[in-house]
Each structure stands twice: as C-alpha cells, then as structure tokens.
Structure 1
Amino acid sequence: HYDLLGGRSPYNDLTMRQAAALRTELAKKKAGVPVAVGMRNWQPYVADTLRDLADGGARRVLGFIMAAHRSEASFERYQATVNDARVALGEGAPEVVYPEPWHDHPLFTTAVASRAREAYSRLDFPDRSRARLIFTAHSIPLAMAQAGPYVEQLTQSARIVAADLGIDTWQFAYQSRSGSPRDAWLEPDIKETLRSLDAKIAVIVPLGFLCDHVEVLYDLDIEAAQVARAAGIRMERAPTVGDHPLFIEMMASIVAAHSR
C-alpha cells in the first residue's frame, strides 16, 4: 500500500500540519499555549513528548486525542499510553486532562460538511440530487463497539452533517477492517455497499478519519474506487477535515477553554 502511495505514510506530515495550524490559531487568540505532538506507534512517541513537556516546566497538559468518535482502540489505548508515560516519569509527570466529546461540535460537523460539498461540487448539478451519500469510518470488532459509544457518536455526527447538506437519505459503511475473518466486526463494508448500491453515483465522506492517511488514500481512493468502477458507479470522495480552518478553530477553542 505504501509503495502505491509514494513509499511512505503521509500521516506524520499531515498531523504536524494540523499542529502548526493550531499554533497559529492559538496565537491569534492570544493563548500562549505550546502545542506538542505525541504518537503511539511512531516518532515522536508519546513518552518522549511528555518528557520534553515536563522538562520544559509543564505541570498540566490537555491530551487532545485525534479521534472524534471514541472506542477502546481510538481513544482508551491512547489514554493508556499517556498513563504509562506518566508512570515512567514519576513524580515530575504533568497532570493530563482530556476534553469532553466533540463529535457533535458545530465547528467539526460544519467542517465535515464543507469537505463533503467539495466532492459534490465535482458533480454536474443534475447529478448531485441523484448521488448517494455514504459516510465511512474504521471498522472495529463488534464486541468493542458494543462496549462503547463509537457507533452512536458516528451516527450523531453523520445525522448532523447530512442535515447541514440538506440530504435526507444517506447510509453508513465501514472500512479498513483487519484481524481474523472469523471475528465479527462492524458492517457493512464499503466495498459490499458499493457492489449492492441502488444508485450510479456515490459521494463518500470518510467521517471517522481526521486526515487523508493511507487507510483513506488506499482503502477508498484505490480499493473502493476499483469496486465502484467495476459496478459502473461514479464515486467522488470528500477530503477529511485535515487542517480545515473550522476544525482548527474548534481545537483552539477547546484548548483555550482548558487554559483559563
């Protein structure tokens, strides 16, 4: 997958771009709060970032986990990683707090709707009303989904975005599943959804992702697009929110509220 996309993941670059935009927005708000990036699975690691913050005198940190919809995989594992880093630091570890859920924040949902409109704008005007709106998110094991608010929060976000777009008929599909095929995961899969779609135009909105990384670029733009072409469907994929000004503004407002 990486080879087909230039040999590397764009994830770090995109996340750093979000962080840079957040710094700029906070400066506009006169909120002198440093912004640092920490990751679970690659550099800069959470433990190293938290140590640097502690060495710089930070005593209270807002942990803004880059996932709008919460599950054990998307949220709790990051909290556990932060907690492990704090334990390793010992008494000098900063306190880490987390924001309330923001999947239904109007700035977030409006940013998603704005990105969706970018996809609709590539269609001729008569085709826009004939296009089927499909939201996607990362599939997770069914047992994990049943233990948390993931599906409920995704549904809430999708409903708000669809209403913003003035669209009554829409559907949800999942993508990027892994693990044993014997285990139950959230369905339907986007590829099966496209194969059985009762429309010839589809607008795909990757609601569950915050930047155009490999699981969006490959799983949708290559794999799902191939299925759509084979089914005779024109597929237009909306960009993720990325560094959309409204999304960055939302992050800045949350940071500012916690820094008072």
Structure 2
Amino acid sequence: MDALLWLSFGGPDKPEDVRPFLENVTRGRGVPPERLDEVEHHYQSFGGVSPINQLNRTAIAATEAALAEAGLELPVYFGNRNWHPLAEDTVARMAADGVRRALVFPTSAYGGYSACRQYDEDIERARASVGEGAPELVKLRQFFDHPLFVTAFADAVRAAAAPFDDYRLVFTAHSVPRSADAASGPPAEGGARYSRQIAEASRLVAEAVGAGDHDVVWQSRSGPPQVPWLEPDILDHLETLPAQGVQAVVVCPVGFVSDHLEVVWDLDTEAAEKAAELGLGFGRASCPSGDPRFAELVVELVREHVAGAEPRKLSDFPAAGCTVNGAPCAPGCCESRRRPSPA
C-alpha cells in the first residue's frame, strides 16, 4: 500500500459556503428551499463553519503520528463527499503523486446506504473522474464493535455522567427511513444491519460502563412526515423520562465519530434545552475522533491489510463493507432508498 485516503462527508468552512454546500448535499432529492433555510440557520448559528473539517484534520494528524510510530510510512490524504477538499480532487492528487494502491478509511463505523455503500460510490466516482492511472482504492471495514471504539465511548460516558449520582443512559444515531434501514443488510441476515449494529454498539458501551437499562433513540430526521423513519426521536424520548422518575440523562451519540454540527445542534443545543425545560440534568458524551485510541483504531484496521493482523471485534456481526479480510456488501445490501438530508 502506498497511502491512506481519509474519506468523510464534508462541511462548510465559512458562511458563504453554507448554501452551496447544502445544495450540493441535497441535489436531486427534492428538498424544499424552506428546509434548506432551516438547516442553513443551524450552520450560521455557529458562524457558518462546520466543525467537521477541522475535526478530521486533527484526527488525521494523530493518525499520521500513530502510523509512523507503528512503522507504517503511509501518507494520509483527506477527501470529502460533499465539500472541499473533494474526493475527486484528492484522488487526482494521489495519482499525480505516484500513489498506485491505497487504503480508504471512511469516517463511519456502520453499515447502511449513507454510512457504507455511498462511500463505495464516492470511491468509484473519484476513480472514474481521474480515469486511467487512478489508484486502486480498498475501503477498510466497519468498526462499530472494535474494542477501541467501544472503550473510547465508554470513558466518554463516564466523564459525562460524573456530575450525577444516578442517570439514564440514552444512545443516539442518525435516523433513516425505515425502508432504507430494511435494505441496509442482506435479506439472509434479516436486513436492518444499520439499526442492529447501532443497537449492538450501544449494548457494548452500556455493558462497559456497567449501566443497567439504556435506551436507543434517533436524531436528525429530515424527511416528510408521511414517510416512516426510525423512532423515537431524542426530543420526544426525553419528554417520557420524568414520568419514569428519571432525574438526569446522559446522551451518547454512538452513531457518530466526531462532534460535528449534527451533534452540537441536535444534542448540545436542542436536546440540552429540552432537558432543561423538563428539569432533567443533562450530560453528553463526546465522540471518539479526538481520543488517541481512535488513531490507534485506524492503525489496527490498516494492519489487518498490510500485516495480516487478526481483526479485533466484540460481536459476532460480520465485518462487512470491505473486500479484504471481511465480507463485502452482498447483492441487494445497503441499496439507495430516499436518502436522508442534513439536519
């Protein structure tokens, strides 16, 4: 292998980027302008800058250092699906630099269309844009049940729960249409790989912190009300907790790898305000991209390819989404349905 491509979603770096970025994300999906206006307000509330690009650059720097420490001299390139640096431009630069074969780390731990298969499409689109001479790109496997992913979240939950004597642990992930979730796994496995992986990761983290009961809920829904999406929504769920005698809630965004805008808006803003209205104590676990173990996780995934290292997993779920040392997506798995829009 000659390099590692860090492939992510992308986000605006300045206020004037916000609208073009949102139009790029939603192109061809029939999202009404008023919905874009609402989402643009979320971004402009934070100065028109998404945290995601800087979070990625920080994680990339940590990964480069961890790779070097492990004796793996792989340059790390950064590309995005929806905003600069675009994957097509990055892969073109890789080809110009003489990269012929590279691994790809997608910043998603899970299966599903947007979380997994769409990254395959990003890779193919980028290679096609370069044409002859484009490097071979091999995507790393899903890692929702990797011990380092689980323990990083578990420690983040402990830190968020420190102010409370008792609390309810609530896990969140990006909601998707139920039809998309049903198509997120091979029919032979019963489909719904995305929601089942979210549930399994939540169980693993809850077990690691010694939590008894826990809840799995959803956030960032953006579709029309007539289309069924995964429920309950985090805000609706919070309203049910006081009647159960809950006095504090710790929210763990287990479906995300970094504290980007959907996390800080949906949880740190809307969910925190809702909890305050309800008289609930509120804590939010941080996402793992800034934890040193996240860089170690990436190195371990790389070593599965370059050194034949045994994959470390805490569940029996297939290590899908990768064509080497894992099960590739089966025919009919993670097919595109009505794609979720940004929150």
The TM tier, using the shorter chain, reads: over 0.9
Q: CA deviation at 1:29?
A: 0.7
Q: 2 CA distance for matches of 1:180 and 1:115?
A: 34
2:266 partner amino acid: D
2:293 is the counterpart of 1:246: yes
Query: How much identity, in percent, do the aligned residues show?
Result: 40
Work out whether 1:40 is the aligned partner of 2:84.
Answer: no
Opposite residue 62 of structure 1, the aligned amino acid is L
Report the residue type matching 2:176 in the other structure: I
- Partner SS state of residue 91, structure 1: coil
Q: Where has structure 1 moved over 4 Å in runs of 4 or more? A: none
Structure 2 equivalent of residue 168 of structure 1: 212
Using the size of structure 1 for normalisation, the TM-score is: 0.95
Q: Secondary structure at the match of 2:287?
A: coil
In the alignment, is residue 116 of structure 1 matched against residue 160 of structure 2? no
Q: State how many pairs are aligned.
A: 255
1:50 aligns with 2:50: no
Amino acid at match of 2:265: Y
Secondary structure of 1:218 counterpart: helix
1:152 lines up with 2:196 in the alignment: yes
Mapped partners of 1:240, 1:101: distance in 2: 17
1:183 is matched with 227
Unaligned runs of 5+ in 1: none
Aligned to 1:224: 271
What is residue 81 of structure 1 aligned with on the other side? 122
1:184 offset after TM fit, Å?
A: 0.7
Partners of 2:50 and 2:261 within 8 A in 1: yes
Larger CA deviation: 230-239 vs 86-95 = 86-95
Paired residue type of 2:263? V
Q: Aligned AA for 1:12?
A: N
Where does residue 237 of structure 1 map in the other structure? 284
Aligned-partner SS, 1:191: helix
Which secondary structure does the structure 1 equivalent of 2:64 belong to? Answer: helix
Cα distance in 2, alignment partners of residues 62 and 188 from structure 1: 37
Q: In structure 1, what is the equivalent of residue 107 of structure 2?
A: 66
Which residue, 222, 245, 249 being the options, matches 1:202? 249
In structure 2, what is the equivalent of residue 137 of structure 1?
Answer: 173
Letter in 2 for 1:250: L
Summarize the alignment of residues 22-37 of structure 1 with structure 2, pairs less than 5 Å apart. 22-37=63-78
Match of 1:205, as an amino acid? C
Deviation at 1:118, TM superposition (A): 1.3
Q: Distance in 1 between matches of 2:122 and 2:230?
A: 25
Does the 8 A contact of 2:108 with 2:142 survive in 1? no
In 1, Cα distance between the equivalents of 2:76 and 2:122? 18
Shift of 1:141: 0.8
Q: CA deviation at 1:4?
A: 2.3
Q: CA RMSD in A?
A: 1.1
Partner of 2:61: 20
Q: Does 1:213 align with 2:254?
A: no
Deviation at 1:88, TM superposition (A): 2.1
Q: Give the Å deviation of 1:21.
A: 0.6
Moved more, 182-191 or 73-82: 73-82
* Structure 2 Cα separation of the partners of residues 110 and 204 of structure 1: 16
